[in-house]
Amino acid sequence: MNRNYPKPIVYVVSDSAGETAESVLKAAAIQFHPNHVEIRRAPYVNGREGVDFVVAEAAKAHGIVVFTLVVPELRDYLIAQARKRKVISIDLLGPIISTLEKAFDQEPRHQPGLIHQLDEDYFKKVEAVEFAVKYDDGRDATGVLLADIVLVGVSRTSKTPLSMYLAHRGLKVANVPLVPELQPPEQLYTVSPQKVIGLVIDPDKLNMIRRERLKSLGLADNALYAQFERIHKELDHARTVMSRVGCKVIDVSNKAVEETAGIILSLIRT
């Protein structure tokens, strides 16, 4: 059956961007396709004047007000004004917040825009993880200049796992392997030593880790990579570089990644 109804106008009112309410409205409106709803978004309404304006416009247009207001006083005011002007209003968040308040036995924060703060944290973490991958293992010395933290140390001192762990805390981390045969990037000596962290390890522990690594690759565990003479040479070189940089040094011999990360976080905050 074909019926030509006038296109309804729905005012989306929010004390933040209004994306939540608009998404819910569109999800509901699609059930009436091909009929269309005209959506007029009123974001960042944080006072009675904004409410008065939107409700008045909705009354003139015979429209509907859909809102996501987390401040109770403003929410109640909008409901009262809509009732007064005979405007249909739909509170999307109020009933949910009220139900969760009872379930958690906890007072809600009533703070607008929190979901966008969470989104910002999420994207910051994603950016930090991408940074850690791009500047892992000294692939690009530019990362030393751009990073929040620069980890330096010999192979198998957990530089990459630490970079990823710290990236999930929103920190951009570059790591640089220290090898006697290769000069460290010059950028390492020009950045603030406060953001450079040196990682060292007990030679016996490193020998064990490297032997296991060689075995996992199907190689002989007595290769040069795991020999004590080579390990001591690398660690001496690493300490020389760290001394020149003037950075803090952490012994990771018997520390889990989480423990070392905690120490790093405390060091960069001081």
Q: Is 160 annotated as a binding residue?
A: yes
Tell me if 104 sits within 8 A of 129, measured CB to CB: no
Reported residue count of the chain is: 270
Return the structure tokens found at 194.
Answer: 């406060």
Q: Is 211 annotated as a binding residue?
A: no
Kindly list the distances between the CA atom of residue 205 and the CA atoms of 136, 200, 208, 264, in Å, as whole numbers in the listed order.
Answer: 23, 11, 5, 21
**DSSP per-residue string spanning 7-26:** PPEEEEEESS--HHHHHHHH
Q: What's the gap between Cα 190 and its chain centre? A: 29
Q: Is 154 annotated as a binding residue?
A: yes
Tell me if 253 sits within 8 A of 202, measured CB to CB: yes
| Cβ count near 26 (within 10 Å) | 12
Sign of dihedral through CA atoms 190, 194, 198, 199?
Answer: negative
Tell me if 90 sits within 8 A of 64, measured CB to CB: yes
Q: Is 159 annotated as a binding residue?
A: yes
DSSP class of residue 251 equals: E
CA distance linking residue 78 with residue 65, whole number of Å: 9
Angle at 241 between CA 238 and CA 243, to 5 degrees: 105
Q: Is 156 annotated as a binding residue?
A: yes
Q: Is 243 annotated as a binding residue?
A: no
Q: Is 14 annotated as a binding residue?
A: no
Q: Is 158 annotated as a binding residue?
A: yes
Instruction: Indicate the annotated binding residues.
Output: 153-160
Known binding residues for ADP are: 153-160
